[in-house]
Amino acid sequence: MQKRKLGNSGLEVSALGLGCMGMSYGYGPAADKQEMISLIRSAVDRGVTFFDTAEAYGPFTNEELVGEALAPFRKQVVIATKFGFKLDPTVERGLSGLDSRPEHIKQVAEASLRRLRVDAIDLFYQHRVDPDVPIEDVAGAVKDLIRQGKVKHFGLSEAGAQTIRRAHAVQPVTALQSEYSLWWRNPETDTLPTLEELGIGFVPFSPLGKGFLTGKIDENTAFDSSDFRNIVPRFTPDARKANLAMVDLLRTIGERKKATPAQIALAWLLARKPWIVPIPGTTKLGRLEENIGSAAVELTANDLREIESAAAKITVQGARYPEKLEQMTGR
């Protein structure tokens, strides 16, 4: 697979990464651990070198999974993980608030190093901006960890443009991870221009719209009771029915390109900027191979104009998060 550099940092990764959250958390019951280890290793065999996890996924079990799966390949892969939540396994989804105090960041780093079975964390993101801790203090704490050799690169997730600038002034930010896809384009307003100006890479999560842009979900799809999508306004049956217009657009382009809707959605992201590295997640080998195949789909300038023109006529229905979670983004 082709490689890309995340901004000016020099951190080189495969053009597509693998988001590992859904293997343990968020989209129904955790998948079988041995099957997921096999899937992660299959990704390595197919050229994927960039893997995304977080202590919050599980909590903790996803980092352990990723650490075990990638232990034999440590020198050829890049592992990203995250800090910034208060974790309580007794509460729903395991999250009981935000905590980016410097002493907590350092405790999380030590624990993540153990679970990931690594000597240094390749990319350490603040999972969500903590309004109670100045971002300069957060960046300073990660800077200390970088000096100590425990972390290699600093990242932010779902941060607003001013926060990115303030953090970058203390410790250069290698990458921002935020949601971005054809059905969530808000980053184009302030975020992408800021990243381009500062030389920061962009790692879109949910590049397939939490599975919706694959074309395998419609208004009749039933999700497991523990699936996060049950509380997402964009996934009410009425919203799904309306939003199929976006899938129809991807399918139309895909038929011409001999590609699936998911491959067109990912190819569109890859065509946006050379420093964008999407991290689609999956628990299925066939889907992994389909996603990897998107890196070989070339969209011409005419294709991109056609997608842009058609997408502009589609109004996506439903908020992407419940209000409480949306308040944690863009700070």
Q: Is residue 49 part of a domain?
A: yes
Whether 180 is a known active-site residue: answer no
Check residue 132 and give its pLDDT.
Answer: 98
* Token pair belonging to 273: 């900027």
Check residue 89 and give its pLDDT.
Answer: 77
Q: Which of 25, 27, 57, 125 is catalytic?
A: 57
Check residue 236 and give its pLDDT.
Answer: 98
Check residue 96 and give its pLDDT.
Answer: 85
Q: Which regions in the chain score pLDDT beneath 70?
A: none
Look at the chain and report how many structural domains it folds into: 1
The rounded distance, in Å, linking the Cα atoms of 330 and 160 is: 4
Q: Could you identify the residue written with the tokens 């030389």? A: 199
Q: Is residue 26 part of a domain?
A: yes
The rounded distance, in Å, linking the Cα atoms of 252 and 249 is: 5
Q: Tell me, what CATH number does 171's domain have?
A: 3.20.20.100
Check residue 171 and give its pLDDT.
Answer: 98
HEC assignment per residue over the chain = CCEEECCCCCCEEECCCEECHHHCCCECCCCCHHHHHHHHHHHHHCCCCEEECCCCCCCCHHHHHHHHHHHHHHHHCEEEEEECEEECCCCHHHEEEECCCHHHHHHHHHHHHHHHCCCCEEEEEECCCCCCCCHHHHHHHHHHHHHCCCEEEEEEECCCHHHHHHHHHHCCEEEEEEECECCECHHHCCHHHHHHHHCCEEEEECCCCCCHHHCCCCCCCCCCCCEHHHHCHHHCHHHHHHHHHHHHHHHHHHHHHCCCHHHHHHHHHHHHCCCECCCCECCCHHHHHHHHHHHHCCCCHHHHHHHHHHHCCCCCCCCCCCHHHHCCCCC
Q: Is residue 178 part of a domain?
A: yes
Check residue 216 and give its pLDDT.
Answer: 97
Domain enclosing residue 63, as ranges: 3-326
Query: Which residues contact residue 213 at a Cβ distance below 8 angstroms, ignoring those fewer than 6 apart?
Result: 181, 182, 183, 246, 247, 250, 261, 262, 265
Q: Could you identify the residue written with the tokens 């890049």? A: 78
Q: Is 166 exposed, middle or buried (0-12, 13-18, 19+ CB in 10 A)?
A: middle
Q: Is residue 297 part of a domain?
A: yes
Q: Is residue 331 part of a domain?
A: no
Check residue 98 and give its pLDDT.
Answer: 96
The rounded distance, in Å, linking the Cα atoms of 187 and 99 is: 25
With contact defined as beta carbons under 8 Å apart, do 68 and 116 qualify? Answer: no
